[in-house]
Chains A and B, each alone.
Chain A
Amino acid sequence: MIDTPSPGPRPDPSEDSPTARALPPLPADPALIHGVGDRAVAWLHRHRDGFHPRPEPDTPDREVRDRLKPIGELALIGKVLFREGVAGSRQAARARQLLDHAWREHLDGGRLLAWMQREEPLSPIPFEIYVPFRELGYSSPEVEENARLTHGLNSWAALEAMPVRRLGLAAFERRFGLPPSVDPGEAVGATWLGRRPEPWTVGLHIGYGITHTVFHLTDWGENPNGLPADIAEYLTRWLPAWTDDWLEIGHWDLLGELLVVDACLPRPALEDRVWRAFAAAQAPDGAMPAQGPMPEGDEREVFDEVYHPTLVAAFASVLATSRAMGSLIGEPA
């Protein structure tokens, strides 16, 4: 299934459009890339209470569990923001404050994760959220005991999940120090990207599968060498076609994730044309819309719509800045 916004052919953009201009594919200015992340982190820091899983005293438990997912994403990306030296002291400090706040206020020092483990022992979500916090030095013995207990069950290894999710679980197990419940090589081979199929079949859902396969293989950008050579070669060939497409559609959320993938490649393109358009899509206050222009309306609803693309913008920016500052462009892998 290939999803396009309309059933008819999309006309080629006019010569004035950002996707058609005959600019040479130059790398973007590191200052432009860094600026996107700096503004995004500032927005996330200002809106940190939006991540609270129980925004109202009477928020239903089911909604609380749903609201844990954004905290997991905040933890994984926040850790990268904090760890990357090029992020600059202000950005790293804000990232650390965000993570502290999330652990202390939103997760109640880990107690919320332990609560969910008791509610749904086989849910991998608390474990996935806990791993990046643990790597940063936060700790909850109860969460760890629960995780070890569940991990020993045949049921844990038998969990039915999308191959990319299975790959992610294997990666989190490795990061935690547990034996993987699935062979990592087989887990990669079972993903869409691991099979390297026809690149012209990529649609929105396959696109997110591709980006998350890369996230898991590289420990969310911390270890670009985790990308197998055949997958890196495949991505080097076809990523430009996909970024071009989602840039033109104006799907900033997936485009941001594709820019993360670019920054994980042996020779990232860091394409100026794409980064300029991405930066131009960002609101002056640092929020990144998911698709098209910024949504308007109730503050909480706007937060729910834009927190993810804004996190992704910060993520893409910090990795791309790191690669640009590392002068890795054009050098052999």
Chain B
Amino acid sequence: MKQLSGAIHDLASEVVSVLRDGGHRSVAGTGTAQGDEAVLRVAAARALGADVLLPTTLLRHPPEEPVLALVREAMRAYPPGPDASSATVWSHWAMERTVLRLTSVDGVADGSGGRPAGVPPTAQPDVSDLESAPWQRLTHQLAVLGALAVPGADSAVAELAGRRSLDVSRGFVRAVRRRDWLQAAGAGRWLAAVDGAPGSLGLDAGLDFVLHMGGADPRVALHARAALWMRAAAGGEGVPPS
């Protein structure tokens, strides 16, 4: 497990590095790993989910084949089982959706084998357990699904996050108070994606605060930088803050 957390840390750091520096850099080292390292890297990609492709999604870089291959391999190696949690199912759905979006003009399978057979491209996992969740649990769950919080997100999760944005804002307050930087960054990312936080939350300052206090964890930095990028883009600046 220690090795896996290290691999997740490394892969997240690479994504953060590309987000931070902008420019046409690749998620470095992808595809060069061998043996056990390669296995861990695929597992790490499964953990980060669609966020492995976040630089492509946010910076609109053309998708790079080694990165796509890594995500495809993660989807193939770790399909959600029949007893998978809804978070796992949603994460898988987001990977599949992202790969489809980046490899086709109309969001449907292009025959390259990116989507496992048997899953209709438009089907979305169930979101009903989040509908009635108290705001504390809602925020916790949404933070776990942070990879779905991207510009123009149109999933049922995004629709729910937009509808319950005050609840997510309260969850952001709670997470910062608790020093739970990962949850705070994930909640802040959702609020940036759905643009629903009340002005009095002070989301921009909050994201800077979370990045400063918790950004040593690259998973926190990834969410916070994604959120800051979306805030800057929505504000008309169009460029991610460095």
Q: Which residues of A contact B (CB under 8 A)?
A: 2, 4, 7-10, 12, 19-20, 22-25, 196-200, 202, 234, 237-238, 240-242, 244-245
Contacts and interface: CB of A to CB of B under 8 A. Distances in A.
B137 A4 contact: no
Identify the 9 closest CB pairs spanning chains A and B, nearest first: A198-B202, A200-B176, A241-B173, A10-B178, A241-B170, A9-B179, A200-B173, A9-B180, A199-B173
Given A198-B206, A240-B135, A9 B181 contact: yes
A238 B177 CA distance: 12
B77 to A, nearest CB: 29
Given A25-B134, A241-B170, A12 B177 contact: no
B205 A237 contact: no
A20 B137 CA distance: 7
Contacts of B169: 237
B140 A12 contact: yes
Given A7-B179, A198-B200, A240-B135, 6 more contacts: A12-B183, A20-B136, A25-B134, A237-B170, A238-B173, A244-B174
A285 B88 CA distance: 50
B166 A237 contact: yes
B198 interface: yes
B190 interface: no
A4 B177 CA distance: 7
Interface in B192-242: 198, 200-202, 205-206, 209
Contacts of B174: 241, 244-245
A9 B178 contact: yes
B173 A4 contact: no
Contact of A4 (B133, B178, B181, B202): B178
Contacts of A7: 179
Given A199-B173, A200-B172, A22 B178 contact: no
A310 B187 CA distance: 37
A175 to B, nearest CB: 30
A131 B56 CA distance: 67
A237 B198 contact: yes
Contacts of B132: 22, 24
A254 B183 CA distance: 25
9 contacts: A12-B136, A22-B137, A197-B202, A199-B201, A200-B201, A237-B166, A240-B170, A241-B177, A244-B174
A25 to B, nearest CB: 7
B202 A200 contact: yes
Contacts, number: 73
Interface of B: 132-137, 140, 166, 169-174, 176-181, 183, 198, 200-202, 205-206, 209
Interface centre among B135, B140, B171, B177 (most CB of A within 10 A): B177
Nearest to B129: A22
A169 to B, nearest CB: 27
A22 B133 contact: yes
A197 B200 CA distance: 7
Contacts of A22: 132-134, 137
Contacts of A10: 178-180
Given A10-B179, A237-B169, A245-B178, A200 B135 contact: no
A244 B136 contact: yes
Contacts of A12: 136, 140, 180, 183
Contacts of B205: 198
B137 A198 contact: no
A263 B136 CA distance: 22
Contacts of B178: 4, 9-10, 245
Nearest to B178: A10
Contacts of A2: 176-177
Nearest to A198: B202
Contacts of B198: 237
A229 B183 CA distance: 31
B133 A234 contact: no
A202 B183 CA distance: 18
A198 B183 CA distance: 18
Contact of A8 (B135, B173, B179, B183): B179
Contacts of B133: 22
A10 B181 CA distance: 10
